[in-house]
A and B are shown apart, each in its own frame.
Chain A
Amino acid sequence: MPRWQGQLVKVDDYRWEIPKNYKTGMRVPGLIYASKEMLESICAEQTPEQVANVAFLPGIVGHSFAMPDIHWGYGFPIGGVAAMDIRNGVISPGGVGYDINCGVRLLRTSLSEAEVRPKINQLINALFHNVPSGLGSEGKIKISQKEMNQLMVEGARWAVKHSMGSEEDLDATEEGGCLGGADPSKVSDKAAKRGMPQAGTLGSGNHFLEIQVVKEIFDSHIASIMGIDEIGQILVLIHTGSRGFGHQVCTDHLRVMEGAVSKYGIKLPDRQLACAPVESSEGKDYLAAMACAANYAWVNRQCIAHWVRESFSKIFGKSPEKLGMRQIYDVAHNIAKIEEHTIDGHKLKVCVHRKGATRAFPAGHKDTPSRYREVGQPVLVPGDMGRCSFIAVGTQKAMNETFGSTCHGAGRVLSRGAAKRSMKGRDVVRELESRGITIKAGSINSLAEEASQAYKDITEVIDVVHQAGISRKVAMAIPMGVIKG
């Protein structure tokens, strides 16, 4: 893969522009959020070219954005944000990704490191047993086609109705855990068949379940509103998405979009950017199917959170309520949403694609849950399994600049193959254990692929979004126990 040879224009220490005249066909400039040091790895591949390619899409407004965790994806870069005017713009399944509504959910507990450390092995074993994970894992909830249709429409509420969670969880979930406009008739039989057996599973790849210890609090006021009170407190992070269901929805609709591109005469620099006007039948059908997959993913995280609470309850002999296991928040980081934003003083309805990017709405926004209305929507940014994760909040600056969006994680720098080669002969499990991290994985293979050096340092990523003002960091936690698929 050759280095990217284009020129970036420095806007300030954390913003780098790809001018509109870089390539004929760009409708808006590109804007990359990064430190000078990070540009080296960003330009090592053709990632900035992908930022420029997204700027070709009809109806794009503002900039084609790239967050500091950006890396090379299919068509769209991962860590990309693009908003299209719904009157003349397009929706692109590639701008959402295969794993529709891949996202993270964070639970707090009132437990301390000192209480959990002696029982960590028991706890990890209980979680591993209770939460189905791994390649081809099938769920312990058996759902019929009729129930599948219901959960596609109802989202996380479906699980709450089945005694897995509470109203309070829904209130602490982006969109209340249910994206409107879901229509199961726009989902293929194949997708439903892939989805049914996999509901309520963690999956494999980069998905995980992590017991974390709060290590640093940057803003104690905001942290206390989230229920993060002290250093050493235990949190639980769940990272998963819509499994094979989302992949099939994406695959099916990419094929439809292939036809739409020629039908509507859209000129694209990359086939994987296939898209259709938001208001076309192809565009609407995709949005209706995507909402089904997004809702499925929220059901998935809702079920897993319930089993996490059950497992803690079993090991500590107390109810989840007594253990203070409340949900801090749940965010999607692969999704497209129709939102209203102010552009040049005018209110405009746009379709915001966030692919490997998180919504970061500010204090006072109507979609920020009431309990966070005063401080801003929580933003959850997981790092790799050997380092740390951050909790932040959205800001007005994000609203003004990036359509209320920020980074989503660390971002890969090494391919899975390269990561595995770099770990050759090393014992990942033992190395992590020597640092106080207990790990249980379905496959040792997948562990080496997810080793720390395969990812950017999350601390650098979060510093960029904090310094640039598109998020504000609140707390940092390190892993103590990890379950990988």
Chain B
Amino acid sequence: MEKAFEIIDHTADVGIIAYGADVKELFSNAALALFSLITKPESVEEKLHLDLQVSSEDTDSLLVEWLNELIYLFDVKHILFTRFDIASLTHNELKATCYGEDFDPMKHKIKVGVKAATYHMLKLDKSDAGCKAQIILDI
């Protein structure tokens, strides 16, 4: 895959389109897109890691829940992530190790506060050629 993700405009908010050779890569790229909106990805180092487990009803909602879990961790624990190692992913459960560091106002410039990943216009396409997903974020 040449492109990991794109950012799209939405009147009230902002959206991301993430790509991946498979669903695992797609989930990882969607998370990268999320943090690229929040801050400059190159400013975040891998100083800590966190194991996450997220479950939901289906793959579409799992993607929303996954991003919402990361938004929650930034809002409450102030952790910025830069790499996501998706260990396992089924249609309704994901296990991942996320690498990043604590937010440091002297080091990280926050571009925008992302408050939620929504189900609005949520699209996830899987084909042999690869995967693509669109998610609108509330900011």
List residues of chain A with CB under 8 Å of any chain B CB: 45, 71-75, 78, 98-99, 135-136, 190, 193-194, 197, 203-205, 244, 247-248, 250-251, 254-255, 258-259, 270-272, 274, 412-418, 443, 445-446
List residues of chain B with CB under 8 Å of any chain A CB: 7, 9-14, 56-57, 61, 65, 68, 72, 75-76, 78, 103, 110-113, 115-116, 118-122, 136, 138-139
Residue from A193, A205, A414 whose CB has the most chain B CB atoms within 10 Å: A205
Query: Known: A205-B113, A247-B138, A445-B112. Contact between A416 and B14, CB under 8 A?
Result: yes
Q: Contacting A418 at CB < 8 Å: which of B9, B118, B122?
A: B9
> Considering the chains assembled together, what is the distance between the CA atoms of A413 and B10 in angstroms?
10
Q: Contacting A445 at CB < 8 Å: which of B57, B61, B78, B111?
A: B111
For residue A193, which residues in chain B have a CB less than 8 angstroms away from its CB? Answer: 76
24 inter-chain pairs at a CB distance below 8 angstroms, sorted by A residue, are: A72-B11, A74-B118, A98-B115, A98-B116, A135-B112, A136-B75, A136-B103, A193-B76, A197-B76, A203-B113, A204-B113, A205-B139, A244-B75, A247-B138, A251-B116, A255-B56, A255-B61, A272-B118, A272-B120, A412-B12, A414-B11, A417-B9, A418-B9, A446-B112
For residue B138, which residues in chain A have a CB less than 8 angstroms away from its CB? Answer: 74, 98, 247
Query: Known: A193-B76, A194-B75. Contact between A271 and B110, CB under 8 A?
Result: no
Closest B residue to A414 by CB, please name it.
Answer: B11
> Considering the chains assembled together, what is the distance between the CA atoms of A272 and B11 in angstroms?
17
B116 A417 Cβ-Cβ under 8 A? no
B118 A417 Cβ-Cβ under 8 A? no
Looking at chain B's contact residues, the main secondary structure is loop
Report how many A-B pairs have Cβ atoms within 8 Å.
90
> Considering the chains assembled together, what is the distance between the CA atoms of A274 and B116 in angstroms?
16
> Considering the chains assembled together, what is the distance between the CA atoms of A30 and B136 in angstroms?
25
Closest B residue to A78 by CB, please name it.
Answer: B12
Q: Contacting A415 at CB < 8 Å: which of B10, B57, B68, B76?
A: B10
For residue B136, which residues in chain A have a CB less than 8 angstroms away from its CB? Answer: 74
Query: Known: A205-B113, A247-B115, A258-B61. Contact between A270 and B11, CB under 8 A?
Result: no
B11 A412 Cβ-Cβ under 8 A? yes
Closest A residue to B61 by CB, please name it.
Answer: A258
For residue A251, which residues in chain B have a CB less than 8 angstroms away from its CB? Answer: 68, 116
A258 B57 Cβ-Cβ under 8 A? yes
> Considering the chains assembled together, what is the distance between the CA atoms of A190 and B12 in angstroms?
25
Q: Contacting A270 at CB < 8 Å: which of B10, B112, B120?
A: B120
A100 to chain B, nearest CB (A): 12
B111 A136 Cβ-Cβ under 8 A? no
For residue B116, which residues in chain A have a CB less than 8 angstroms away from its CB? Answer: 98, 247, 250-251
Task: List 12 other contacts, CB 8 Å, given A71-B12, A72-B10, A417-B14.
Answer: A73-B12, A74-B119, A98-B115, A136-B110, A136-B113, A204-B113, A205-B113, A248-B72, A250-B116, A270-B120, A415-B13, A445-B112
Q: Contacting B119 at CB < 8 Å: which of A244, A271, A416, A445?
A: A271
A244 B115 Cβ-Cβ under 8 A? yes
B67 to chain A, nearest CB (A): 10
A122 to chain B, nearest CB (A): 26
* The 8 A-B residue pairs with the shortest CB-CB distance in the complex, in nearest-first order: A74-B120, A415-B9, A417-B9, A272-B120, A135-B113, A247-B115, A271-B119, A272-B119
A416 B113 Cβ-Cβ under 8 A? no
Q: Contacting B11 at CB < 8 Å: which of A247, A258, A415?
A: A415
A194 B139 Cβ-Cβ under 8 A? no
A26 to chain B, nearest CB (A): 20
B11 A190 Cβ-Cβ under 8 A? no
B78 to chain A, nearest CB (A): 7
